[in-house]
Amino acid sequence: MVACLFQIVPMSDTSSAAAAATLKSLPTDMELVLKVIPMPADCNVNGDIFGGWVMAQCDLAGSVIPARYAKGRQATVAVNEFIFKQPVRLGDILSFYSKLVRVGRTSVTVMVEVFAERFRAQGEYIKVTQATFTYVAIDDNGRPRPIEQPAA
């Protein structure tokens, strides 16, 4: 059984929290796997982007690295951790970075970090989400299958 952790970090003073979280550069130890701009249809009534939309994009971004190991069909088997750190807003340019955490016999675990470049603050980035996903390689019948192990 896999436990799943969802955490929403309190944002009592989002302006000071966002200022403290502002980065001038993006991660160098992770791979840029997806860039996307949310659209008005992705907003809730408060003008923030739906968390479920962000989760779906993270799942897509997270699947890029495991695809190199699975070399065939794969499925998301677990969302091990998902933390919303800051809201995603309409007009943000989202950059999804991923890195390999673990390669198992049939599965690959990756970490995904999402950075927002605010519409009015180009060149400055805020980490808005981080997540860890596990994907399993599957055969044509949907059963787990072994994957090639990386060279040591």
pLDDT in tens, 16-27: 555 555 666 799
The residue-averaged pLDDT of 99-106 equals 97
CATH superfamily of 28-137: Hotdog Thioesterase (3.10.129.10)
The residue-averaged pLDDT of 46-61 equals 95
Question: Residue 96's pLDDT is what?
Answer: 98
Question: Residue 4's pLDDT is what?
Answer: 43
Question: How many whole angstroms separate alpha carbon 80 and alpha carbon 77?
Answer: 9
Answer whether 0.75 is exceeded by the pTM.
yes
What three-state secondary structure class fits 62? helix
In this model, does residue 84 exceed pLDDT 90?
yes
Cβ atoms of residues 47 and 89 within 8 Å: yes
Percentage of residues in the chain having pLDDT higher than 70: 83
The residue-averaged pLDDT of 59-72 equals 96
Burial category of 138 from C-beta neighbours within 10 Å (exposed 0-12, middle 13-18, buried 19 and up): middle
Q: Where are the domains of the chain?
A: 28-137
The residue-averaged pLDDT of 117-127 equals 87
Question: Residue 94's pLDDT is what?
Answer: 97
Question: Residue 11's pLDDT is what?
Answer: 45
Question: How many whole angstroms separate alpha carbon 29 and alpha carbon 39?
Answer: 29
Question: Residue 101's pLDDT is what?
Answer: 97
Percentage of residues in the chain having pLDDT higher than 90: 72
User: Distance between alpha carbon 148 and the CA centroid of its chain, in Å?
Assistant: 24
Pairing outcome for strands 31-36 and 93-103? antiparallel
Question: Residue 21's pLDDT is what?
Answer: 59
The residue-averaged pLDDT of 72-81 equals 97
